[in-house]
Homo-oligomer: A and B are copies of this chain.
Amino acid sequence: MQSLTNQLGAMLNKRRAPIIEFNRVSFVIGIMLLVLTVFMFPPAVTDVIADNPDWKVFAGSAFFTGFIGMMLVMMSRGRWSNEVSLKEGFLLTVLSWVVLATFAAMPFVFLGGGLSLIDAWFEAVSGLTTTGSTVLSGLDDLPPGILLWRSIIQWIGGIGIVVMALIMLPFLKVGGMQLFQTENSDRSDKFLPRAREVMGLIAFTYVALTTACAIAYGVAGMNGFDALNHAMTTVATSGFSTHDASFGYFKEPAIHIVAIVFMFASSLPLVLYVKAVKTGSLSAFNDQQVRGFAKMVAVILIGLTLWLAARPEISLGEAVLKVGFNAMSIISTTGFASEDYTAWGSGAVGTFFVLMFLGGCTGSTTGGIKAFRLQVMLLSSFNYLKQLMSPNRVVVATYNGKQITADIATSVLAYLSVMFASVMMFTVALSFFGLGFITSLSGALSALANIGPALGPTIGPAFNYGGLPDGAKLILIVGMLLGRLEFFTVLVILNRDFWR
């Protein structure tokens, strides 16, 4: 991990030149594959302990992945430098997710009963992008190695996203992320040490959060294996479970409460935990994005809870738990389900559809539009409203003390336009594969926002993606990657000008 962190941290010493040196790209991808190789051993060991022959699959996958990783590193003939050009940044960001997902899919192909190539790739992409849609069923009867592997790729994906959001996206200026450029940081960020150290601290925080979550799950009543797996997929807000019934399997309210707390905690920017520890004060969380997100969550949870508790058959306590768990799961784009909330009535379906857009804070592992973009939209609109009334007054909207410049407004407009257009195009594409309207629309949104469950009778919270036609699965794979990479990183690569 430390090695990966160092390499990525080094990217901050960037050079904005339009050059692609493939040696540098292959070096970094090679290092990442070696890291992935290391993570293939825990599932192998688990299967050895469980006396399950699948350990060979993991050992074989590790051998092959490690071999390719070594090859890439060697081929780049030590031509590593501490600099990364803008184009290399884009290429690395996109390639790393695609390549890692492809290698992570290997165990799914060779396991007993083996998945088709499309299914294996779907599961791996869904894992690494922390979406959490699954094509597998009968999870409860699967050997422990593969269950652990699913959790591990989600957990790796989670830290990958945080690193990407902290370093690559502000550097690439994608989707308004320049608001989080550390170069422009104001006084309050001065205490932050160099990026390399931050990355180490972020990784440490991630491990610490996961450990705390696992212990809490254990204390609340999960067995050790479940606690570890669900801790990884909770902190990565990713949503794979070891049971077909997801959290419906666990009856203890304490377990659901732990999940709610950690899904919320994992929706906050990880870097704020680092700040809080460094300054020894919780005031690090007094951040405009966190405040906005917390308010939004509070309003949604309270509103939905009161609505559900109004029914004679549901007590207030039950309503708090049901709403808290399922709404927090969708807002944080985790995608666990404790029951089929679409059965609560039409009001719930409409509401959960809207929740699917939101997402947590940027710099967390969540997907969706994310709190800061919603806030920029809100602030820009409100500012615009003021300007409409008094055209001669100059009103400047600010966010976290930084001005919302035209640059940022345009980035956010571009992000929303593309997000919106993508939801539309993916809906149409899925519906031409014969999926119903609700399935197509919510499936497209769920993939693009990296949530997991969708709505409706095919891929709703009580179902899985196994029954979809292969074409639809391919579309969703593209959607999950596009959404995770915040659209523009991919669009830039696909542009002809990029390759000149």
Cα A194 to Cα B351 in complex, Å, equals: 50
New contact pairs (10) apart from A18-B390, A346-B432, A377-B421, CB-CB < 8 Å: A16-B391, A307-B432, A346-B431, A351-B431, A385-B414, A386-B497, A389-B492, A389-B497, A412-B413, A416-B417
Pairs A–B under 8 Å by Cβ, sample size 27: A18-B390, A86-B389, A87-B389, A90-B388, A172-B388, A173-B388, A346-B435, A346-B436, A346-B437, A349-B431, A353-B437, A353-B441, A354-B424, A377-B413, A380-B414, A381-B417, A383-B410, A384-B414, A385-B488, A385-B495, A388-B488, A388-B492, A406-B406, A406-B409, A409-B409, A416-B420, A437-B438
Chain B residues contacting A413 (CB-CB under 8 Å) are: 377, 380-381, 409-410, 412-413, 416
Roughly how many angstroms separate A307 CA and B434 CA in the complex, as a whole number? 13
A390 → B minimal CB distance (Å): 7
Q: How far is the CB of A292 from chain B (nearest CB, A)?
A: 15
Measured CA separation A168–B413 after assembly (Å) = 25
Bound complex: CA of A416 vs CA of B419, how far in Å? Answer: 12
Q: Which of A87, A307, A413, A430 has the most CB of B within 10 A?
A: A413
**B384→A18 contact, CB < 8 A:** no
Shortest distance from the beta carbon of A88 to any chain B beta carbon, whole Å: 12
- Asked if A469 is at the interface of the complex by the 8 Å CB criterion, the answer is no
Contact of A384 among B354, B377, B410 (CB under 8 A): B410
The answer to the question of A308 belonging to the interface, with a C-beta cut-off of 8 Å to chain B, is no
Bound together, the chains give a CA A443 to CA B420 distance in angstroms of: 19
A379 to chain B, nearest CB (A): 10
Could you tell me the distance between the alpha carbons of A327 and B392 in the complex, rounded to whole angstroms?
43
Judged by a CB distance under 8 angstroms, whether A498 is at the interface is yes
Residue contact A417 to B350, C-beta cutoff 8 Å: no
List of B residues within 8 angstroms of A276 by Cβ: none
Docked-complex contact A378 and B434, CB < 8 angstroms:
no
The list of the 4 closest CB pairs from A to B, nearest first, reads A350-B431, A406-B406, A377-B417, A384-B414
Q: A384 near B488 (CB under 8 angstroms)? A: yes
- Tell me which residues from 390 to 432 in chain A have a Cβ below 8 Å from any Cβ of chain B: 390-392, 406, 409-414, 416-418, 420-421, 424-425, 427-428, 430-432
Q: Give how many copies assemble into the complex.
A: 2
Interface string of A58-97 (1 = CB under 8 A from B): 0000000000000000000000000000110010000000
Chain B residue with the shortest CB-CB distance to A424: B354
The CA-CA distance from A323 to B435 in the complex, in Å, is: 21
A19 within 8 Å of B (CB atoms): no
CB–CB A173/B437 < 8 A:
no
Q: Which of A347, A378, A384 has the most CB of B within 10 A?
A: A384
* Cβ-defined contact, B437 with A349, below 8 A: yes
Q: A491 contacts the other chain (Cβ, under 8 Å)?
A: yes
Distance A345 CA – B409 CA, assembled complex (angstroms): 39
Measured in the bound complex, the distance between the Cα atoms of B413 and A377 in whole Å is: 7
* A432-B174 in contact (CB<8A): no
Interchain CA distance A305-B288 in the complex, whole Å: 50
Q: Are A441 and B391 in contact (CB under 8 A)?
A: no
> Please, which residues of chain B bring their CB within 8 A of the CB of A390?
18
**Which B-chain residue is minimally distant from A347 (CB atoms)?**
B432
Bound-state CA distance A455–B437 (Å) is 10
Contact A380 B410 (CB under 8 A): yes
Q: Does A440 count as interface, using CB distance less than 8 angstroms?
A: yes
Say if the beta carbon of A357 comes within 8 Å of chain B.
yes
Cα–Cα, bound, A346→B472 (Å): 13
For residue A369, which residue of chain B has the nearest CB?
B420
Q: Nearest residue in B to A17 (C-beta to C-beta)?
A: B392
Chain B neighbourhood of A392, CB < 8 A:
16
Asked if A391 meets B86 with Cβ closer than 8 Å, knowing A420-B416, A488-B385, the reply is yes
B350 touches A430 (CB 8 A): yes
> With the chains together, A417 CA to B378 CA distance in Å?
8
Assess whether B428 is in contact with A351, with CB atoms less than 8 Å apart: yes
Q: Are A350 and B432 within 8 A (Cβ)?
A: yes
A428's contact among B354, B416, B498, by CB below 8 Å, is which?
B354
A411 touching B431, Cβ below 8 Å: no
Q: Which residues of B contact A421 (CB under 8 A)?
A: 377
In the assembled complex, the CB of A402 is this many whole angstroms from the nearest CB of chain B, namely 16
Let me know if A350 and B441 touch, CB within 8 A.
yes
The reply to whether A417 and B488 form a contact with Cβ atoms under 8 Å apart is no
Q: For the complex, what is the distance from the CA of A35 to the CA of B441, rounded to whole Å?
A: 45
User: Taking the nearest CB of chain B, how far is it from the CB of A280, in angstroms?
Assistant: 38
